[in-house]
Structure 1
Amino acid sequence: MRVLLYFEGKKMLEKSGIGRAFEHQKKALESAEIDYTTDIKDQNYDILHINTYGINTRKVIQQAKKQDKKVIYHAHSNAEDFQNSFLGANTITPLYKKYIIGLYSLGDHLLTPTPYAKRVLQEYGIQKPIDVVSNGVNLAQFYPDKQKEQKFREYFQLSDEQKVIISVGLYFRRKGLMDFVEVAKKFPQYKFIWFGHISLYSVPKEIRRIVQYDHPENVVFPGYIKGDIIEGAYSNADLFFFPSYEETEGIVVLEALASLQNVLVRDIPVYEGWLQDRYNCYMGRNNEEFSQLLEGIVEKRLPDLSENGWQTAQNKSIQHIGTQLKSIYETVLS
């Protein structure tokens, strides 16, 4: 069994959740000892595993079909998480929805990262078999490391006493960036750091304005940072605050859980079945609730849930994902 992992537009998407999911897939296949290639010119494969939605995708699928190859489509996105993202996204969302339904329907089998994401596709009327497979998390990479934590604090020149709240995501309204800044205004004594980057020309002007200058002094937008600094931030911060309105899973949430970090998220359907309020995370519905919970967590007036969160992340390891993918591949081939 040999798999072609197809990822169109790698340079544009490598800093996104889809980009990280693709890297996790490669590691998962390696852990399960599944032979794979990412070279589209290499036609020696049995299964085409599609991850993206570019203009060449349909042609690649059609070519595979002509050769009687099986096609698995990894449905990382839907119309709901396309809204409130790029400049003009809301205007073209109906067209985007029609476009991805057409592409997904070409697959023999679909994968989604959560039961919620599966339900959305079924509500679209897609009739293909759908399996739920988490995007996974590299547990070893995000386990707390004192040296990484020291690099994080030195990079941002943080005193030992400074309380820090972090988030990770593209500069999208959907990600809750505006709410993150509004909550930060209530706590000038805390440092708020939003990791992530996308061209400011591609987002609405109100988001551009906030990132460039219209935010309080205690909020920092350092851009895209990888490696020891952000990994140290995950575990060393006092809280991971992710007020996103819509996700298909949220890899950054998995990374925070794997870092033994307390997590505060918005109470949205995507977390049903794997995150539980007051057990392995905290959930709020608006900025007033976020503010109350945030202060209680940071000042340790609320219970530390990081151990339960870490246990949740164990079930979504790269190795576990590899085992699931191997089973699905074998089923599709048979």
Structure 2
Amino acid sequence: MTDVHSDQILVEEYPAGSPSMRLSVVTETWPPEINGVSLTLSKLVQGLCARNHQVQLIRPRQTRVDQAMRHTGFEEVLMRGMPIPRYPELKLGLPGKRALIQAWTLKRPDLVHIATEGPLGWSALQAARRLRLPVTSDFRTNFHAYSQHYGVGWLRKPIVAYLRKFHNLTRLTMVPTQALRAELIAGGFHHVQVVARGVDTQLFRPERRSEALRAAWGATAGSLVLLVVGRLAAEKNLDMVLRAFEAMRVAHPDVKLVFVGDGPLRESLRQRCPQAVFAGMQRHQELAAYYASADLFLFPSVTETFGNVTIEALASGLPVLAFDTAAAADWVRHEANGWLVPPGDESAFAALAASLAREPACLVQARALACAEVAQLDWQQIALQVEALFLQTLGTPASPAPVVRARTLPAM
């Protein structure tokens, strides 16, 4: 109990708080769909709601019986959608400019943030411009880079032109890495800002390591377990995983390979590598245990804008072998918490994998350093960064952090 006769008392002084914003967030993917965009965007929305902002989430209806949620801390508006070719479990938002103009006329947001550049995102951009609403955007997926993996490489230039037009019509485009910012600016994109992705460090941590899970994979104390997490699809460069696996098996008597995820290449990979473990989709604590229980994370993709799985692995104490691009370029320190190879140098990737198999002690040393590098990437800090950019866009300065001062009380 406070002594009312004392001369001083410590009180927490909060400066005038940042004003609560009415935000409309537009996305064509959302949980329970599992991909980097949906999972990271949901964390960001939760963080913005926790900071007392009013969020209206606009997304495609995922099933015929999908209903807008009312108890999530934010409002949902469901739009028409259709399955994406080759990604039938995901939906593409259909154009809805008229419906959005009507919704935003009745309930006008302070700012519209568009996370995806599909038909729904384009409709949202046009509706917001009609109503003179401020718009910001995310650049989250390298669609132009994916085109070459699906036999439509000739579409690369038109896709880049569309993305440039889309983002340059917004006041701000958020990207997750400095390298991507430099690439987009060189390609004619304007007003590009870096906002890192977050990671749940309470979920993904080294203490999740499970010897029982390793035993289920057939691994012993002397085994090396390689882990791959993500969609089993052409753009992920999974041939490189098999090449690295074979190189490591030559150098070490007991190497295991575990795939977490699903996709169109699953059956082909199973036929080519029957000794691998195909765990399917894993979530939450189960996924965290997979990360922490492996010995090396392989990330051979060169088409990612970020690659959230990279920082999830590091947070779990799992060292990473990757090309020097996307999240790995920013968060993997070569020969400390992982290893980096020049982008596209597949021979070097396989050779380095074999070298690590010959010196497994290097993996043990890297485990101890893996999680320290990403410890500051908690989602509260990311929400603060995004909030500051929204307020900057609206011309409102962000408020400083609260301070603690001693205040003298009047005599009683």
Distance (whole Å) between structure 1 residues aligned to residue 319 and residue 358 of structure 2: 11
- 1:159 Cα deviation after fit: 4.8
1:130 to 192, 196, 207: 192
2:268 maps to amino acid: I
After superposition, the Cα gap between the structure-2 partners of 1:244 and 1:296, relative to the gap in structure 1 and judged at 3 Å, is farther
1:75-108 per-position Cα deviation (integer Å, ceiling 9, x unaligned):
11235542444x3342432332222222212211
2:43 is the counterpart of 1:24: yes
Equivalences for 1:35-184 in 2 at 5 Å?
A: 35-38=54-57, 39-40=76-77, 41=103, 43-79=107-143, 81-85=145-149, 87-127=150-190, 129-146=191-208, 149=210, 152-153=213-214, 156=217, 158-159=219-220, 162-184=223-245
Contact preservation (8 Å) 1:246, 1:270: no
Question: What letter matches 1:132 in structure 2?
Answer: V
Q: State the match for 2:100 in structure 1.
A: none
Query: What are the equivalent positions in structure 2 for 1:167-316 lying under 5 Å apart?
Result: 167-186=228-247, 187=249, 189-198=254-263, 200=264, 207=265, 210-215=268-273, 217-268=274-325, 271-284=328-341, 285=345, 286-296=348-358, 299-301=360-362, 304-316=365-377
1-side partners of 2:243 and 2:290: how far apart? 21
CA drift at 1:208 = 6.3
* Alignment partners' CA distance in 2, 1:327 and 1:77: 23
> 1:89 & 1:313 partners in 2: Cα distance?
36
Q: What is the RMSD of the two structures over their aligned residues, measured on CA atoms? A: 2.6
Structure 2 residue identity aligned to 1:229: E
Q: Tell me the CA shift for residue 45 of structure 1.
A: 2.0
Cα distance, 1:293–1:37 mapped onto 2, change above 3 Å: farther
- Structure 2 residue identity aligned to 1:25: L
Structure 1 stretches of 5 or more lacking a match? 201-206
Normalising by structure 1, we get a TM-score of 0.85
SS of structure 2 residue aligned to 1:213 = helix
1:34 to 42, 47, 53: 53
Which is higher, the Rg of structure 1 or of structure 2? Answer: 2
Paired residues of 2:232 and 2:238 also in contact (CA < 8 A): yes
Verify the 8 A CA contact 2:115 2:139 in the aligned structure 1.
yes
Identity %: 21
Paired with 2:179 and 2:241, the residues of 1 have a C-alpha distance of 24
Structure 1 runs (4+) deviating above 6 angstroms are none
Partner SS for 1:135: coil
Partner of 1:203: none
Q: Distance in 1 between the 2:144 and 2:377 partners?
A: 24
CA distance in 2, matches of 1:256, 1:302: 13
Taking structure 1 as reference, are residues 211 and 302 closer, same or farther at Cα in structure 2, changes over 3 Å only? closer
Q: Secondary structure at the match of 2:279?
A: strand
How far off is 1:239 after superposition? 1.2
1:101-132 alpha-carbon deviations (Å, 9 max, x no partner): 222122111100001111121122122x1110
Residue deviations 1:121-156, cap 9 Å, x none?
Answer: 1122122x111001211111112344x735644664
C-alpha distance in structure 2 between counterparts of 1:59 and 1:97, whole Å: 18
CA displacement at 1:223 relative to structure 2? 2.5
CA change 1:238–1:79 in 2 (3 A) is same
Q: Is the 8 A contact 2:292 2:318 kept in 1?
A: yes
Aligned partner letter, 1:235: A
Decide whether the 8 Å contact of 1:84 with 1:172 is kept in 2.
no
Q: Which amino acid aligns with 2:272?
A: D
Q: How far, CA to CA, are the matches of 1:226 and 1:273 in structure 2?
A: 25
Aligned in 2, Cα 1:322/1:213: closer, same or farther, shift over 3 Å? same
TM-score, normalising length: structure 2: 0.70
Mean Cα displacement is larger for which, 234-243 or 172-181?
A: 172-181
Aligned residue for 1:142, secondary structure, equals coil
Distance 1:325 1:124 in 2: 24
Q: Provide closer, same or farther for how the CA distance between residues 163 and 153 of structure 1 changes in structure 2, counting only shifts above 3 A.
A: same
The number of residue pairs the alignment matches comes to 321
Which residue is 1:204 aligned to? none
- The offset of 1:37, in angstroms, is 2.2
User: Cα offset for 1:305?
Assistant: 2.4
What amino acid is the match of 2:205?
Y
Q: Secondary structure at the match of 1:240?
A: strand
Of 158-167 and 133-142, deviating more is 158-167
Q: Does 1:320 align with 2:384?
A: no
Distance 2:294 2:326 in 1: 26
